[in-house]
Amino acid sequence: MASELVGKVAFITGAARGAGRAMAMSFAREGADVVLLDVGKNIEGVPYSLANESQLRATAELCEAKGAAVEVLLADVRQQSDLANAVQRAMRRFGQIDILVNNAGIAGPSGAIVHDVSENDWQLMLDINLTGAWRAIKEIGPYMVARKSGSIINISSTAGVVAYRHFAGYVAAKHGLIGLTKAAALDYAPHRVRVNAICPGSIRDDRRVEGKMLSEIARALDINQDEYESVFIQSQPNNELLAPDDIAQAALWLASDQAMKMVGGVITLDGGFSIK
């Protein structure tokens, strides 16, 4: 697969840490240049710390160390103008975007029974986890259609295929992202732009990529923070959590020309969690 990404440019949202950083590093390792976008600061209403600017710069350095040319962009996927500016800068620098990974996402505010979810919390969740992906497609799609080439990868979740109690906003947004994946795939198939989704199960908070989401999901569910990993592991048929690199491997394949026939596909990468 290595040579497949040489000369390609990958645009990754939520790239400062976690799965986004793991994917950025894998794309860089396989020869792609990378555009790394993250909000880089906390967002009012999100009950935990999002990544900061220095974490985004750290991802950039890790990618540069693998030989990639890197563009770093501080932007909020809630703002169409942020994404428009980011894409213009990326296009000025590289002249093309071959791969878009819609990865930016939040796990909370969550933890309330559906009728107790406030409208603000509902809107915030949908705005980032679903509409943010649509906004990025809106900016980058036209360039891919014009070149008749591109791979868009939406990072959904097992919450995109099954429900989790007291996570209505997250579940609705991630199911919506599957709908967006299929609809965009149908629109773009004649233009040779592929759109697919990955639905990861519980991803370990790996220190190497400073991941944080699983512990935050556990906190929203009131699970003991010392034992949260074992609680999640118990629900895995294979008794293992996912590693960020597992997501990166799937994304690499979807980005490559080897996945040319993968159109509107949904990869559940969850150790068998969702087949039960």
Ligand X SMILES: NC(=O)c1ccc[n+]([C@@H]2O[C@H](COP(=O)([O-])OP(=O)(O)OC[C@H]3O[C@@H](n4cnc5c(N)ncnc54)[C@H](O)[C@@H]3O)[C@@H](O)[C@H]2O)c1
Query: Which residues are near ligand X by CB under 6 A?
Result: 13-14, 16-20, 38-39, 43, 50-51, 76-78, 103-106, 128, 132, 155, 157, 200, 202-203, 211-214
Sheet strand arrangement including 266-269: 70-74, 33-38, 9-13, 99-102, 150-155, 193-200, 266-269
Q: How many CB atoms lie within 10 A of CB 118?
A: 12
Residue 271 C-beta: closest distance to ligand X, Å: 12
Helix (H, G, I), strand (E, B) or coil at 220: helix
> Active-site residue among 143, 170, 188, 228?
170
Q: Establish whether 48 is a catalytic residue.
A: no
Question: What's the rounded Cα separation, in Å, for the pair 197 and 154?
Answer: 5
> For ligand X, which is the closer residue by CB, 60 or 155?
155
Residues 6 or more apart in contact with residue 13 via CB below 8 angstroms: 20, 37, 38, 77, 101, 102, 103, 104, 132, 136
Tell me the closest approach of the beta carbon of residue 78 to ligand X, in angstroms. 5
Residue closer to ligand X (CB basis): 52 or 149: 52
Residue nearest to ligand X (CB): 18
Helices (H) and strands (E) counted in the chain, each on its own, are 9, 7
- What φ, ψ does residue 152 adopt, rounded to 5°? -110, 130
Identity of the residue, 68 or 133, whose beta carbon is nearer to ligand X in the bound complex? 133
The pair phi, psi for residue 242, each rounded to 5°, is -80, 155
What does the alpha-carbon distance between residue 70 and residue 36 come to, in Å, rounded to a whole number? 7
Pick between residue 77 and residue 153 the one whose CB is nearest to ligand X.
77
Which is closer to ligand X, CB of 98 or CB of 206?
206
List, by residue number, the catalytic residues: 170
